Structure 1
C-alpha cells in the first residue's frame, strides 16, 4: 500500500498538505523563522501523529475489550537536539486514563499492544529516538 500526499506552497512560509483521508493540514513556521504560526509545525506534527497512531490503537482495543473509560489522553514530551538537523532523540509518552471503573491490567495490555505490535509510527520513532512509555490511572478523576 502506498500513501500519496501533495504539499503546496501558499506563499511566505505556509504550506497546505493533502491527506489520503481527504482532510488537509496547514503547515507554517514560527514568527522567529519568518512564518505566521498559522498552522502546525512539522516536528510537532510528528508527535501528534505518534499520539494519534497509538491513541487509535488503544481506543480500538478499549472498544474490543469493552473497557469502561471516562476520559483518555496522551501527553508527549520530546527532546529536540541542539545541532542541525535538529531531531528528537528522546521521547516520553504518557498515557492517562480517567474513570470510576478502570481495569488497569487490560488497559495496560492495550497500551503494550499498541507500543509493541500495532503502532507503525512508534516503530518509525524507535529508529531515531529513545522511547519511554508511561501509563497513569486516575480513578474517580476527570480529564484536566
Structure 2
C-alpha cells in the first residue's frame, strides 16, 4: 500500500492513495485533521467488520452507525489515550449474542486500525440493537 501527501498551502495537505482516492487535511480546522482521520478510520474499519460478520452469519443488517468518543493527552504529542466506539445496529432478528460477538471479533481480531492502536490507546466498545 502506498500513498502520497502533498503540501497545498499554509497547513493544508492533500493525500492521494495508490488506488486514486484523495483526502484534504488541515492543521487549522479548514478540513478534516489527521487525528480526526484516525478516529474515523477506527469507526469505519470496525463497522465494516461488524456488518460483514453479521452478514456472513446470514443475518439481515439494515443500518450500522458507530459513535466514537476519544480522549487525548493534554500535552504534546496529543495522542489518543482512550477511544470508545458505540455501535447502533439495525436489522432483522438480531440478538444481543450476534451483535456482541461481531463487535468483539472486530475489536479483538479483525479491525487492523484498532489492533494497530492497541497497547497505546484504551479502546472500549458498546452496542445497542435499534
Report if TM-score (shorter chain) is over 0.5.
Answer: yes
The answer (yes or no) to whether the contact 2:63–2:91 under 8 Å persists in 1 is yes
Match of 1:51 among 22, 40, 43: 43
- 1:114 Cα shift? 0.8
Give unmatched runs, 5+ long, in structure 1. Answer: 32-36, 139-144
Alpha-carbon distance in structure 1 between the residues aligned to 2:91 and 2:54? 13
Tell me which residue corresponds to 1:103: 95
Structure 1 residue aligned with 2:4 = 6
* Alpha-carbon distance in structure 2 between the residues aligned to 1:73 and 1:45: 17
TM-score (norm 1): 0.83
Q: Does 1:20 align with 2:26?
A: no
Name stretches of at least 5 consecutive residues in structure 2 with no aligned partner. none
TM-score (norm 2): 0.91
**What is the aligned length?**
130
Alpha-carbon separation, structure 2, partners of 1:69 and 1:47: 23
- Report runs of 4+ in structure 1 exceeding 3 Å deviation: none
| Residue equivalent to 2:127 | 135
Structure having the higher strand fraction is 2
* Higher alpha-carbon Rg: 1
Deviation at 1:99, TM superposition (A): 3.9
Work out whether residues 55 and 61 of structure 2, in 8 Å CA contact, stay in contact via their aligned partners in 1. Answer: no
Alignment correspondent of 1:115:
107
Residue 88 of structure 2 contacts residue 128 of structure 2 at CA under 8 Å; is this kept in 1? yes
What's the Cα RMSD here?
1.4
Q: Following the alignment from structure 1 to structure 2, what is the Cα–Cα distance between the partners of residues 67 and 104? A: 13
Structure 2 residue aligned with 1:72:
64
Could you tell me how far apart the structure 1 residues matched to 2:92 and 2:113 are?
Answer: 31
